[in-house]
Chain A
């Protein structure tokens, strides 16, 4: 559409957009501020904007006891993770396959995260954080592996059953989750899987599977058939062609889908709330801060909210373009 040239109208447009942007981010801004206050400051009659920030809420949330030398511990941790990031950014310079380097970095990262409680006395909140990582990573790995095969099959098969499976799966995905979760709870109780990571991962995979196959299918459809056909002429069978030829060019699509799977698994609340008793993930742990009698709960809740939001915001900002692409690709075509 031709741009508006009237300066006043344009100014008005910017004004409205900025107002809406402020509306969108003000809760983040305010919660972040509250999380650095003492309970007294946070409850003051007139909101304080200038105050001496304190890290007490974060240390109360994450640590049982502050380590003897907190600065040293922080430096060591930052150094280790800085090194891991540096290695993964320079993965192509190593004389090893890149996938191997990433996997090694990931394994080392997990090893460090799991060994921290051995050195620093952490709160249960840290355990919930580790649970979240296990469940999210497990869900992504299984969901994407089986979803890629299904998405590829659906993209290449022209029979009517393909469409039927897609539409029925979409229908099941659109139902309220409660209809599955109560039976899951019952299965869990009967089989003894209640409160295990395994049950969480497998049910999250199932619930997100329809979405995963739809999204991956749309990415596979953009890959021309000729590519795998030429590989098959050269003697590869379809499975080999799929693994050796198609998957390597699918990475952008896989990353997009994995990103959405991550958001869904990380933020799931109802399912985890019902299927766990003590092995909570962060979302369930945080909901416990929603209500409280003592005045300290506001700042603690703020610190918990910021702690859970930061990892997601970092990941999303790194992959922003994939996110917007994924959000709109399915929609605009349909």
Chain B
């Protein structure tokens, strides 16, 4: 089976964090390639560099050295504004703590990235948001505030927000960490479903064995280095 196009290409990436007088080496020469449509899980113990790696792929941080190519863009060469636009157009984020805007309704939270894009009309936006909310099973909660929802429901809103701009990549940092196992399972199922139906690349970090079981490719990190990569046959 032919491989899909490379959407993320990381080569010899180092990331250092100065901490007082010591330098913490979060990533030490990481090489990673992700193809479009992957459902990739990054696993490893705490402090292994999972979140740092996701930050670099998500263009919210830059590498100390090495190359990070996102959809063909070398993030090191981009300005803050270009990185922002890249995030808006190419990436979607799902956070461990959901990170919804508390004063906005479910609908408005999901609509927010579309408003930043300033591309669709009001009706088009409404149509797309409603469709996505229906897909994540929250069509009846569109007027609720995040505080009126359960943890699982909030994460569904976050998933809808991450997908609403139809990004090529969705990054999820420990998306089930704050959820009970049953809810976590359904959230992963939902992500998987989206991956299947929309062909969106999902890269998520986790240290939950059950969750990583759903991934078609698992990258193991230890001490800032790739400790191995395992692809599940037939999943791709």
A complexed with B: no
Chain A contacts to B: CB under 8 angstroms:
none
Chain B contacts to A: CB under 8 angstroms:
none
